Amino acid sequence: LFTVCLIFHLFCLAVCLQNFKKLEIGYVLFSILFPLLYSWIPFIHNSFGIAGAWCWIRDWKDDCATQKYLEGIIEQFVLWYGPLFISLTLSLIAVFIILI
């Protein structure tokens, strides 16, 4: 999220011709507090558990490899891939606008 804030700041400097120096504290707070906010969602749904090498949101019911845990799979995609693709898309659009 720090890179998204950096690209937003560069976009405001290059395209909008405004300097939002007063938002620098907001950038840091947003980049730290936003992930802390949505990292509690698996705790609320009791979805943390063994899920493999890279994720702690479980994708199997009761650690049984024959039953998929649909809520855990949805949380993995929504909490990781959703913000990732949204921030990547917005960053690419902003960079293309800055370069043009």
pTM value > 0.85: no
- Indicate the DSSP class of residue 29: H
The pLDDT value recorded for residue 68 is 80
Which pLDDT does position 29 carry in this prediction?
A: 92
Residue 64: the pLDDT is 67
Distance, in Å, from the CA atom of 79 to the CA atom of 77, rounded to the nearest integer, reads 6
The amino acid at residue 92 is: L
pLDDT means per 10 residues in the chain (100 residues)?
88 85 88 87 80 72 74 84 90 89
pLDDT at 89: 94
Long-range contacts of 48-53 (CB under 8 A, 24+ apart): 51/76
Say what the pLDDT of residue 93 is. 93
